[in-house]
Structure 1
Amino acid sequence: MAVNNEEKQQLIPHTDLVHKSLLQSDALYEYILETSVLPREHPCLKELRELTENHSQKIMATPADEGQLISMLIKLINAKNTLEIGVYTGYSLLTTALALPSDGKVLALDMSREYYEMGLPIIEKAGVAHKIDFRQGPALPLLDQLLQDENNKGAFDFIFVDADKNNYINYHKRVLDLVKVGGLIGYDNTLWVGSVAAPDDAPMHSFIMNLRGYVIEFNKYLAQDLRIEICQLSVGDGITLCRRIY
């Protein structure tokens, strides 16, 4: 069915976003960045962010304000052993590695080594490549492999998930056994460009519509999971923090 110009303007966007934040004012978002985020951004993070901005899949990148939040969370909980599912060019990965102590480790899982290697020279330049264990392949089999070793259960202080949304529930069922009691899991994109609150018949890009149902289902799943405390924040495209209770 054809879409007229007025309907196009009402489409919930994705790749044409100026930023991923749900803030309605670009000026307000720029104020936050220029005042509180970018002046504190590590030079290598800035270099990686600017490199990624020229890539065709740049919408997948973690925004700088969300990276700042992840860094503070890691430091607040004194995390040393972390896991990241979904790496892309590595902005959140570099953020994590920089926030970890010198003997900290991050196990990073992604389908694409090509994207990871785009950012790897900058990660090496930052002097934190030794903290990273990158493993290529589908995350679910890799997680199942980790769970076969009892020593990995409850071994991670912090886990960040930013991967295929249709598998978020499957990821949750696994990572909840990998994170320690009192540990933290962060799930990215849980507001899905605001589409989770849009009417079912609202016009939106197919990319958003195709995964919207999975994100809504996942949010409901977390809300009823009594094994965790949750806090859903409107930072970036929405990040839900889960603290394992038992």
Structure 2
Amino acid sequence: MPETKNPQLTPELYAYVLEHNPPLNAAQRELVETTHRKLADAAFLQTAEEQGPLLAFLVRLTGARQIVEVGTFTGFSTLSMAQAMPADGRLIACDVSEEWTAYGRDAWAKAGVADRIDLRIAPAIETLRALPAGRWIDFVFLDADKGSYLDYWEELVPRLAPGGLLVADNTLYHGEVVDPTAGGGAAAIRAFNDRVRADDRVDDVLLTVADGLTLARRI
């Protein structure tokens, strides 16, 4: 049995990680705080704080100009990526909630990146199926309903540009992926993880970041 080198992530160690990551800027911090204040019961849906700087880092690393996000919530991840992309880039954000994304719209406008973001309110699978064919997407962030991850994957991977990167969140699903009796979202994520591993169109790695983060690069 392999032994983990991961230390237990205590509150003190987590605070240390955040202190040694790039700090959130004023727009990001305000959006995080607004989400927790106005949507306390749903705030757990927000992308983990350390993932904002990570997503921005990956966008800059890949030079992504064409980004698709599946699952926007209040737009923290969207804001993080939009601020990192070139001014002439475009980010298509897919969500079904006008209420939640309204907080994002305000934050994007305040940060001066609203013109880079194309928010599409509709079932994400419909939005993805309507996207142009061909290999043109540079970067994807997938953080939506887990039961549809496989469907989203099959729409997105054929559209990834060579070297394009797909980042999928929650791929450890609270640790429940290792429980073969767990159904629902855990079962859906297990099936997704198996599909990613078997897909010869991509190189992939699963990381123990937040609730599990899979990075898949289009070959």
Task: Tell me whether 1:191 sits opposite 2:172 in the alignment.
Answer: yes
| Separation in structure 2 between the aligned mates of residue 170 and residue 23 of structure 1, nearest angstrom | 34
| Separation in structure 1 between the aligned mates of residue 19 and residue 127 of structure 2, nearest angstrom | 39
Quick one: percent identity of the two aligned structures? Answer: 36
Residue of structure 2 equivalent to 1:223: 197
| Deviation readout 1:31-60 (Å, 9 max, x if unpaired) | 1112324xx211100100111122121111
Residue of structure 2 equivalent to 1:178: 159
Amino acid in structure 2 at the alignment position of 1:42: N
| Separation in structure 2 between the aligned mates of residue 36 and residue 78 of structure 1, nearest angstrom | 20
SS at match of 1:64: coil
SS at match of 2:148: helix
Instruction: Pick one of 21, 24, 47 that aligns with 1:41.
Output: 24
SS at match of 2:200: coil
Conserved? CA contact 1:23–1:29, under 8 Å: no
| Separation in structure 2 between the aligned mates of residue 36 and residue 94 of structure 1, nearest angstrom | 17
Amino acid in structure 2 at the alignment position of 1:220: D
> TM-score with structure 2 length normalisation?
0.92
Question: 1:64 Cα deviation (Å)?
Answer: 1.6
| Separation in structure 1 between the aligned mates of residue 75 and residue 27 of structure 2, nearest angstrom | 11
Instruction: Pick one of 211, 214, 236 that aligns with 2:210.
Output: 236
Conserved? CA contact 2:138–2:165, under 8 Å: yes
RMSD: 1.5
Aligned residue pair count? 211
| Deviation readout 1:103-129 (Å, 9 max, x if unpaired) | 111011101121000222121110000
Amino acid in structure 1 at the alignment position of 2:138: D
| Deviation readout 1:184-239 (Å, 9 max, x if unpaired) | 001110011111124637xxxxxxx5211111111111111111000111111111
Runs (5+) with no aligned partner, structure 1: 1-21, 202-208
Could you tell which deviates more after superposition, 113-122 or 129-138?
Answer: 113-122
SS at match of 1:79: coil
With over 3 angstroms needed to count, the CA separation of the structure-2 counterparts of 1:23 and 1:105, relative to structure 1, is farther
SS at match of 2:91: strand
Task: Tell me whether 1:53 sits opposite 2:32 in the alignment.
Answer: no
| Deviation readout 1:57-109 (Å, 9 max, x if unpaired) | 11110112111111100001111110101000000000011001111110111
| Separation in structure 1 between the aligned mates of residue 179 and residue 11 of structure 2, nearest angstrom | 21
